[in-house]
């Protein structure tokens, strides 16, 4: 399917690897020029070289912490007038509800709620002026069904989801769509690190921890960054212009609900 977005320009945050990288690759495959971002310069520059070579698009890497005001300012300066924004950042650490104090919540809110909101506030007005834009926020299945050990994520992402529900309906009339993409368990470094946490907590091997988590997914496996990226690229395509304020769950059926 021709996604109809060749020649457009996208900012994909937190994208040297994992789900963000999957989104960057899929947009590049659709002919979109990219600004990509991560904190560590070397893997980011390698990702930029590889994506440009494979897909023949322009890729600008900006090494910065997207959750800081200074880092975000540098990314936004490089991004300029983008047509597509994919927000992403590392997820908050796991723990128990008794572990977290105000500082932990403020850090989670900054990274996973206030940072995507600041990025939208900076870039959506230009998209509205130009009459076309796409925003996809990478959130989590924890928005639909809470994950006990990820209470910081449950909280911060629920806040972002409420913001998107209201804001997306205020900008849709100008050709700009804002939607959220909710990953269940995907085979990335984040998943491996969570497998490690389960392995230590339950005193089992990482392989057992992974097998146990796979058994909770009707599809019987973790998702891939490629599948995730392809869905993101569709949500950024010309075909998704009537999708507004939605929360698209990619979890292999793990969330047991009818709607």
Residue ranges binding ligand NAP (CB under 6 A): 14-20, 37-40, 65-67, 88-91, 138, 140-141, 183, 185-186, 188-191
Q: How far is the CB of 7 from ligand NAP (least distance, A)?
A: 25
Residue 187 to residue 209: CA distance in whole angstroms: 13
Helices 102-109 and 151-171, interaxial angle, to 10°? 40
- 246 vs 255, beta carbon nearer ligand NAP: 255
Closest CA to 182 of 221, 133, 110, 232: 232
Q: Count of CB atoms within 10 A of residue 79's CB?
A: 23
3-state helix, strand, coil in the chain (%, to 5): 50, 15, 35
Reported as type and span, the H/E element at residue 181 is strand 176-183
Residue 103 to residue 89: CA distance in whole angstroms: 18
- 20 vs 245, beta carbon nearer ligand NAP: 20
- 18 vs 133, beta carbon nearer ligand NAP: 18
Q: Counting every residue, how long is the chain? A: 259
Q: How far is the CB of 130 from ligand NAP (least distance, A)?
A: 26
Q: How far is the CB of 124 from ligand NAP (least distance, A)?
A: 20
Phi-psi region of 204 (alpha: psi -120 to 50; beta: other; left: phi over 0): beta
CB 63 within 8 A of CB 41: yes
Q: How far is the CB of 174 from ligand NAP (least distance, A)?
A: 28
Residue 204 to residue 193: CA distance in whole angstroms: 14
Q: How far is the CB of 163 from ligand NAP (least distance, A)?
A: 16
- 120 vs 171, beta carbon nearer ligand NAP: 120
- 88 vs 168, beta carbon nearer ligand NAP: 88
- 50 vs 132, beta carbon nearer ligand NAP: 50
Can you read off the two tokens belonging to residue 218?
A: 């009707």
Distance of alpha carbon 80 from its chain centroid, rounded?
20
Q: How far is the CB of 59 from ligand NAP (least distance, A)?
A: 14
Can you read off the two tokens belonging to residue 51?
A: 């994506």
- 40 vs 58, beta carbon nearer ligand NAP: 40
Q: How far is the CB of 90 from ligand NAP (least distance, A)?
A: 3
């Amino acid at each position: 399917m021709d996604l109809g977005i060749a020649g457009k320009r996208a900012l994909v945050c937190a994208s040297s690897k994992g789900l963000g990288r999957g989104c960057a690759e899929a947009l590049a495959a659709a002919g979109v020029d990219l600004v990509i971002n991560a904190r560590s310069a070397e893997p980011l520059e390698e990702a930029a070289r590889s994506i440009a070579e494979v897909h023949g698009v322009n890729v600008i890497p900006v090494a910065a912490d997207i959750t800081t005001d200074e880092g975000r300012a540098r990314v936004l300066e490089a991004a300029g007038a983008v047509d597509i924004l994919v927000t992403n950042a590392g997820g908050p650490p796991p723990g128990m509800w008794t572990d977290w104090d105000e500082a932990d919540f403020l850090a989670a809110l900054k990274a996973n709620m206030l940072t995507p909101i600041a990025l939208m506030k900076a870039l959506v007005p230009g998209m509205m002026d130009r009459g076309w834009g796409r925003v996809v926020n990478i959130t989590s299945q924890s928005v639909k069904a809470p994950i006990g050990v990820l209470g910081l994520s449950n909280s911060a992402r629920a806040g972002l989801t409420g913001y998107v529900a209201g804001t997306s309906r205020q900008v849709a009339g100008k050709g700009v769509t804002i939607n959220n993409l909710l990953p269940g368990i995907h085979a990335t470094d984040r998943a491996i690190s969570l497998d490690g946490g389960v392995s230590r907590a339950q005193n089992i091997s990482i392989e057992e921890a992974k097998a146990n988590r796979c058994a909770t997914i009707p599809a019987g496996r973790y998702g891939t960054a490629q599948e995730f990226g392809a869905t993101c690229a569709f949500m950024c395509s010309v075909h998704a212009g009537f999708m507004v304020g939605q929360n698209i769950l990619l979890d292999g059926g793990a969330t047991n609900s009818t709607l």
